[in-house]
Chain A
Amino acid sequence: MNIIRSFLLLFLLTTQVQANTIYNLIKIPNLAIYETKTQNKLRYLYAKQPFTIGVNNNINCYNSNKKNLDDKYKIVKKNLDRYNHKFLKKINLKYIVLCEDLSISKINTAGIPDHIMKTLILDINFNQNYFERVIHHEVFHVINDSYKNLFDEKVWSDFNDKEFKYAKCSTCTDKLGLDTYTNTMGFFTEYSRSTASEDMAEVFSHLMVGSNLENNDPILEKKIQFIIRNLQKIDKNFIL
């Protein structure tokens, strides 16, 4: 029995010896280092070839040309430099993967956060109009995943009008617009109306880019204060 178990375990432990360090660390293949010497110790990686990951191989992303990568890296870094190392450590974010045309089950997505692997995959081609805001939106998902207890969706949902209901998931709805409303009515964007966590991420990202904060309605004001209050529970020095 022990021999069988030994063989089984050895079989499971048998990996490609040449598997690279990045794969060993974050379990995403075909990546290379873009930049590691950063002030906040974020490690920027890029897809040197397309990669497929996920339980059912349902997540795909593609490599980019150098110019696009260089251009977008500057934008991504400028925005992520606003989070210091201490905060990033608290939320468990360390690796930023830059690639193109990211999709889950063939649905395009801006980013895929994975706080367990300390990784955020970013689609550098996603919605160029709101690219910077989307970066912060995705960071919020990392924050939220790391501090589920703080960002209680029931409490959040109660801020809305009683008759309002979120969809069951962000892809279960066609409310995907990212244009900021002029008449907010409790929501910054159409996408905010999809789910509670997307709504929180939209509020957070709008706070980070400082857009349309003058026209707050009472519901939105409660949501903003909720986000600020809980961010300060994570790091009292966090600056929006």
Chain B
Amino acid sequence: MINKIKATKSEKIIFGFLISLAIIFFGSYFLIKDKCLFVKNHDPQNISFDNPQNIAILNVPCGNVIIELYPDISPNAVKRFITLVSSKAYDDVAFHRVIEGALVQAGDLEFGKKNNLNYGKIGTGKSGLGTVNSEVDAPFDFDKGSVGLARKQKYNTEDSQFFILLKNEPLYETEFTPIGKVIYGLKALEKIKYLNKSQYVLRPDFINSLRMLIN
């Protein structure tokens, strides 16, 4: 005959504690793994824009980043950007240079494509459309969310690469060509993969798509 042994009160407490611990452990694992958990995704269809023709939607792993372009400030640079967006050239292009809390940079169409990633040359690629002259004379506050065209050491070498600032950079005024500002979704950019010891990212995050709101 087997006697049924009742659990003592303290055993029940320990059991309950272990169950809670397991729930917290597995729950945290999934929460931490999902880096986009607390990032709000902005649906451009639910937002009204003053200049919808100047709105670009950058879709990244954590959702949409909505950018207003400023053709009045940098007409040639914005024109180049829209040309590339319209041809879907930025789809599957890496955020190859990311500095935590400072900036994300993407747009190497030659060496930064997901199916043709070249770590040895990334950041040096061209669009095939030639360079654009720098447009740096107009006053522009390079504050958090500003979007600009990247360039080489010399002016007038802008092409397809662009950066988005994650902090204010007043020294960028007259240094880089501004093309717009992020008006929604900056949080999604703060989740872009970065490395602690290098600005250049191994196994980087990619642009899912980049489209104009109105084609």
Q: Please list the residues of chain A having a beta carbon within 8 angstroms of any beta carbon in chain B.
A: 2, 5-6, 8-10, 13-15, 17, 21-22, 25, 33, 36, 41, 43, 94, 116
Q: In whole angstroms, how far apart are the Cα atoms of A94 and B134 in the complex?
A: 16
Contacts of B118 in A (CB 8 A): 6
The interface residues of chain A lying within 8 Å CB-to-CB of B119 are 6, 9-10
Residues of chain B at the chain A interface (Cβ within 8 Å) = 99-100, 102, 118-121, 123, 153, 169-175, 194-200, 202
**Cβ of B171 and Cβ of A14 under 8 Å apart?**
no
Contact B175 A13 (CB under 8 A): no
- Interface contacts beyond A33-B171, A116-B153: sample of 5 additional A-B pairs, CB < 8 Å, sorted by A: A9-B120, A17-B197, A17-B198, A21-B169, A94-B174
Q: Is the interface of B mostly helix, strand, loop or mixed?
A: loop
Assess A13 versus B171: contact at CB under 8 Å? Given A2-B120, A6-B119, A6-B120. Answer: no
**Which residue from A5, A43, A116 sits with its C-beta under 8 Å from B171?**
A43
Residue of B nearest to A14 (CB): B198
Which residues does chain B contribute within 8 Å of A5, judged by CB atoms? 120
**Quick one: given A5-B120, A9-B119, A33-B170, are A25 and B175 in contact (CB under 8 Å)?**
yes
A6, B120: Cα distance in complex, Å: 4
A10 touches B170 (CB 8 A): no
Residue pair A41, B199 in contact (C-beta under 8 Å): no
Cα A2 to Cα B100 with chains together (Å): 29
Q: Could you say which residues of chain B place their CB within 8 Å of the CB of A14?
A: 197-200
Do A10 and B199 contact each other (CB < 8 Å), given the known contacts A22-B171, A25-B171, A25-B175? no
Residue among A9, A15, A21, A25 with the most chain B CB within 10 A? A21
- Asked whether, in the complex, the Cβ of A17 is within 8 Å of the Cβ of B199, the reply is yes
Interfacial chain A residues near B169, Cβ < 8 Å: 21
Establish whether residues B170 and A36, one from each chain, have CB atoms under 8 Å apart when the complex forms.
Answer: yes
Give the 3 A-B residue pairs with the shortest CB-CB distance, closest first. A6-B120, A14-B198, A9-B120
Contacts of A6 in B (CB 8 A): 118-120
A8 to B173, CA, bound (A): 33
Determine the distance from Cα of A33 to Cα of B171 in the docked complex, in whole angstroms: 9
Contact of B200 among A13, A21, A22, A43 (CB under 8 A): A13
Contact A13 B199 (CB under 8 A): yes
Tell whether, in the assembled complex, residue A17 and residue B123 are in contact, meaning their CB atoms are under 8 Å apart: no
Contacts of A43 in B (CB 8 A): 171
